[in-house]
Amino acid sequence: MTFALRSFFLLLAVLAATCHHCFAQQPAAAAPCAMPVFSNVVHDPNIFSEQQEEWLGEILDPQIRKEFNVIDDPENDYLQKIGERLLAQLPPTKIHYSFTIIDAPESDSFGLAGGHIYLSRKIIALIQSEDELAGLLGHEIGHIITHQVAIDISRDFRNVLGVTQVGDRKDIVDRWNQLLDTFAKHPQKHDEKREQQEQLIADRLALYAMTRAGYKTSSFGDFFDRLAGTKKNTGNFWSDFFGATSPESKRLRELMRTSAPLAPVCITAPPSDAAVHFPKWQQAVIASKRAVAKEEIPGLIRKTSLKPPLRGELDQLQFSPDGKYLFGQDESSVFVLTREPLANLFRIDAPDAKAAHFTPDSLAIVFYDKELRIEKWEIASQQRTSIRQLTSKCFDTDLSPTGEVLACVTPDLDLQLVDVTSGKPVFSKQKFYQPTFADLIMLELARILDEADATPNLFSTRFSPDGHYFVISRGEMQFAYDLQTRSEVKLPKKVKEILTSFTFLDSGQLIGHSAKSNKLTIVRFPSGDLVDEFPFNFGGNYSRVQKGNYLLIRPAGNAAVGVIDLAGKKASMGYKAPGFAIYDTVFAGEELGGEVSLYTLADRKQLAKVQLPDSPLSAARVSSFSANGKWLAVSGRSRAAVWKLETGERALYLRDLAGAFFDQDQFIARFPKREKDPSTVFEFDPSNKQSKKLYEIAAEPEDVLPDALARFVGRPIFQFGDLMVSVKPDDAKKSTNNYVVEARDLRTNKPLWEHKFEKERPSFHYSPAGKTMSTVIANYDAIQQQAKSDPGLAAKLKALGGGQDKKASYVVQVTEALTGKTLGEVLVDTGKLSFKVKSAIAAGDTVLVTDSENRTLVYSLKSGEQIGKVFGRSQALSVRGDRMLVENGKGNVDLYDTATLQSLAHFSLPSLIGQAAFSTDGNSLYILTIDQNVYNVAVH
């Protein structure tokens, strides 16, 4: 079954409409058990042998593994055994099939050339029997065994490249790269009818293989009906005649119509324990963790674990309703603690989890992740008591305090309240909100940023603390629902006025900010009777406290959390970290050092303090190896550390950094502005922990920009090794696209050089090995300005031909970092934006360009010519530029010779690379993975 994930590749189309009798079946073969024969599609030209198809699949497989995490099959071979049972009913093939579970957030499955088949955990959760699973696998096998992907790529190779035959693996890689380089020049019209035919052929083969393998063929139609939401509607003559039958209904009709019986001799006995076995396996998949690759590192000199590892900042702290417990949550974990005494109980592994919360009875913690897996953990037993996988497709979500109901806003802006146990909506309202122009702008900005944390939360949603009511609002749209009576709540005017920024104070009171009156207003819910109100200037993200007459607002000016005293009707305090909670007369807060402390609320007296357990750090904001390989510095959002690599022991523990540089054994760190403290540069000696302040930096607006916005508009100051680089408009009084770039010595803050860039704000990338800055220029006017002073660049630009080709190109300008001297420029032809340039680094004569197709393009700086390209993202470049480290997918790493692009060594790492660097002599590599292990590897 092929769905939205096919859009990751040019050749893989989304599962879409199908039509009745879209393909003609030849008369039945004489043999009673023969496979169906088809008259078109499968007989179209295919230039790939089965071996070449496998090579093609090997090229594409890492792209999937880069996008998604692989999930362990709890039995290792359950899917494989079902797949092989189905394949045994089909003609022999030399293709080796593999079946992989991934953590895609949609209910999807798809297949690639060469037998690679992928199922999302969500689609496995949607399946109700092994028969349905067999139908799904049979469909994907049907696409591959009839060589549909290879045939489609054959057509693209012929139409776009003029290629009618392929050779060895390298030739296929080269041809695929050519296609990626030029597909925008030769747009291929989507052939919907052909796509429908391909789906129907795969369906017929799935039904045939299911029948022969002893599976119930009607189950496949049941599954598709549930997945597509067709509700058994197959249409009829009149709905077809008037064009009212949906493509999904037509396809369901075909599935129900073509389940032809076979002679008993053709059918093998079905698995005897399938009915019992499948549900157990399915539940195990839902509970399964991400797969970890086996560590294989040839040339390993030393593996060092950072001790202690750096833990990320808490996103929240929360007391239990009864005040006996509290938990903290960061990007990877939920830490459960007792309050008296303040002590760690246990840690819950929770990567990519949304905000957790205590259940109303204080006995458990509930949360969910991006796949909509809802987990419940009992505090007393310290065990997970339930995990359920919802299959809804949601744009915005919220979980009730009991963990029993999930609020889901679908991409079509339907509202659903889904019962977690059954997975079925208890309430649905179609098209409940019409997006405004401003909403569409926000969504487009999120799309441009192309990052998960940039996706806006359009709606304000709250469940009452007891899970009785649900309220959602956006602009003039307000809606409330009573989950006990299963009925909509009619909201009085007084309630509607405060639903722009609001939260429940308790199960019977709502507080919100009225923009009209500029007041904080407390009303009884749902009656709207006024309880209290007072002037307050700011709306925001409000949250209740478990006990006490207070309201929290996040953020609050320079503070991460602000406290509003509802009795005193005023703002009473702010707290520097997001991890903050109040219970009655005490508050809990995360310290800059990472500890969690309890304080009295009245006089801020510390009552207790505890250090939380270790937790994975999924991403670092700053990381740097020393050139001599002795030291490593890493900074997260709130704290940083320096480790001695020989032992892994921590030498320095610091607040968060904006930049880091090792000058031999001395460590120079730039600290961003925080509250009243200006941005400052310090020098440290990690050996004896002595430090001295070098200088302060004038206040910059970068310190107050949200991360997502800063990534979009750019920060005005950067640290590149021992350089401080600032980017400012050339005229502060006028709005221009001209900028001045100034570089200063990090040690002294003295100016080193200055460049002017016209027509575009430059994008910089630094190579610590090459000590070069690479500036990516995308604006055509700016490129023309550069070409005026560079005859070689002007000639290459002219050779591109038409205006569209020129305007869709990039220039990478490489400069010597310390002097600002231009070393050369490389012109990148994107084939009318068949791809985009993401970053570039340079050392020696080598320039590495990372593009949007997950490739590293290799250029000679001297000639400006492209040497070639490899799949994956460059992680490190040697001082001479003759070696590069490239990661293609998670932990799949190769060391390449940049002149020949031959792989010199392959490494399998159990975790993603966080930072990598070659030694100064080029004889070894240092690799930091995000699980905070450092590998020192010999390079030959």
Cβ-proximal residues to 400 (8 Å cutoff; 6+ apart), any chain:
406, 407, 463, 467, 470, 483
pLDDT tens track for 686-728: 999 999 999 998 765 544 444 444 443 445 788 899 999 988 8
Confidence tier at 226 by pLDDT (50, 70, 90):
confident
Q: pLDDT band at 32, cuts 50/70/90?
A: confident
pLDDT tens profile 779-797: 888 888 888 888 888 888 8
Average pLDDT, stretch 288-312? 93
Q: Percentage of the chain with pLDDT > 70?
A: 90
Query: How many whole angstroms separate alpha carbon 297 and alpha carbon 906?
Result: 8
**CA–CA separation, 528 and 542 (whole Å):** 19
Under a CB-based contact definition with an 8 Å cutoff, are residues 307 and 650 in contact? Answer: yes
Q: Is the pLDDT of residue 186 over 90?
A: no
* Confidence (pTM): 0.88
pLDDT, tens digit, 9 for 90 and up, residues 489-531: 999 999 999 998 999 999 999 999 988 889 999 999 999 999 9
User: In 10 A of CB 307, how many CB atoms?
Assistant: 13
Distances, alpha carbon 436 to alpha carbons 261, 439, 461, 475, 477, in Å:
54, 5, 18, 9, 11
Give pLDDT, residue 710. Answer: 43
Peptide bond into 526 cis (omega under 30): yes
Mean pLDDT of 182-205: 86
Closest CA to 545 of 373, 384, 320: 320
Contact 562, 573 (CB under 8 A): yes
Q: Is the pLDDT of residue 230 over 80?
A: no
- What is the predicted pLDDT for the residue at 887? 96
What amino acid is encoded at 893 in this protein?
V
Q: Return the closest-CA partner of residue 560 out of 532, 535, 534, 591.
A: 591
Q: What is the mean pLDDT of the chain?
A: 88
